[in-house]
Amino acid sequence: MTATAAKATTVGFADVLRARDRLAGVAVRTPFIENAELNNRAGGRVLVKAENLQRTGSFKIRGAYNLMSQLDANAVAAGVVAWSSGNHAQGVALAGKLLGIPTRIVMPADAPAAKREATLRLGGEIVPYDRYTEDREAIARDLAAASAAAIVPSYDHPEIIAGQGTVGLEMAEQAAEIGVVPDRALICCGGGGLTAGSALALRQRFSDLQIHTVEPEGYDDTARSLASGRRESADVSRVSICDALLSPMPGELTWPILKNEVESGLVVSEDEVRAAMRFAFRELKMVLEPGGAVALAALLAAKLDFAGSATLVLLSGGNVDPALFAAIQAEPN
């Protein structure tokens, strides 16, 4: 416990500020949007952070570039290896393209085609694996060891956490710019890099903010960990449309931060996610992927009482195959 806490203190607000400097001109300061219909639905004020409009269609470029831009010349030459269902893959591939670093990404064979194709277009090399029978981390570590390549983890690294934390930093600034003191923040959660980093940045400005993670049914390891007080795991063989959020458990580095900063974990059903994707299409005019829609789903499904308060909702990604998107839009509301 003491050892873990000590390790966690290797990431702090100052790291998020440094990450923001590195990301200048690389990541976009994504819009912070208020929508009247969403306010009506919540009975309060809702501010949406649209990271689906980020480069590569998700926030992942932030952490990947922040880490990869600090690699030394040897590591740059050897390239990097990562594992990802597709959003981190695109972030790593784009960072590699911008920095001249070869990238190899271990990706499930059933990852969305849109994510595979976008990763390839960005120059990433894909190493497919079977999500249900193979261990992606072992494959990646073997690849890295054989070529002296660096690993770019998808969440459990101080510079990844700090990079993703720039989302929270922007949200804090954008809320302050319009004079809003948010009561709550809803942040989608896989391994917890985005939530941990963003929590560090949000807490710096808003000491009373209640931060909630949001996870899809079956992958509620963070919610259960927060309830029990120790890291719980998810059954990763379970099928879910939220491909971006299928992490086995909170990270070693992310967990102590989550434990300190997060009020509780919310869980949404697949139907609630699909309804949120329809709401985003119809009212927000934005494309969300399932994993990117969970925080909005928690709000629309009234997982807490949002009336009379101000809530930040993080939309994390929009990389979804057209056929799945169309099928979801065709469903009745």
Binding site for a copy of itself (CB under 8 A): 28, 31, 33-36, 50, 52-53, 55, 57, 114, 281-288, 318, 322-323, 325-326, 329-330
* CB of 83 closer than 8 Å to CB of 107: yes
* CB count in 10 Å sphere of residue 2: 6
User: From the CB of 318, what's the least distance to a copy of itself, in Å?
Assistant: 3
Nearer to a copy of itself, 14 or 178 (CB): 178
Nearer to a copy of itself, 13 or 281 (CB): 281
User: From the CB of 113, what's the least distance to a copy of itself, in Å?
Assistant: 12
Laid out side by side, the sheet with 184-188 consists of 32-34, 45-50, 310-315, 184-188, 210-216, 262-268
Q: Whole-angstrom Cα distance, residue 307 to residue 61?
A: 34
Residue matched to tokens 């949002």: 306
User: From the CB of 40, what's the least distance to a copy of itself, in Å?
Assistant: 11
Nearer to a copy of itself, 200 or 244 (CB): 244
Nearer to a copy of itself, 66 or 174 (CB): 174
Nearer to a copy of itself, 241 or 267 (CB): 241
User: From the CB of 238, what's the least distance to a copy of itself, in Å?
Assistant: 27
Q: Which amino acid is at 199?
A: A
Q: What are phi and psi of 178, to 5 degrees?
A: -105, 15
Nearest alpha-carbon partner for 238 in 266, 270, 192, 275: 270
User: From the CB of 276, what's the least distance to a copy of itself, in Å?
Assistant: 14
Total length of the chain: 333
Residue matched to tokens 């590591």: 75
User: From the CB of 30, what's the least distance to a copy of itself, in Å?
Assistant: 8
CA atoms within 13 A on the CB side of 164: 32
SS3 165: helix
User: From the CB of 295, what's the least distance to a copy of itself, in Å?
Assistant: 16
Determine whether 232 is exposed, middle or buried from the number of CB atoms within 10 Å of its CB (0-12, 13-18, 19+): middle
User: From the CB of 281, what's the least distance to a copy of itself, in Å?
Assistant: 6
Determine whether 205 is exposed, middle or buried from the number of CB atoms within 10 Å of its CB (0-12, 13-18, 19+): middle
Nearer to a copy of itself, 52 or 225 (CB): 52
User: From the CB of 323, what's the least distance to a copy of itself, in Å?
Assistant: 7
* CB of 194 closer than 8 Å to CB of 187: yes
Nearer to a copy of itself, 130 or 331 (CB): 331
DSSP state of 135: -
Nearer to a copy of itself, 11 or 287 (CB): 287
- Residues facing 47 on adjacent strands: 34, 312
Nearer to a copy of itself, 31 or 43 (CB): 31
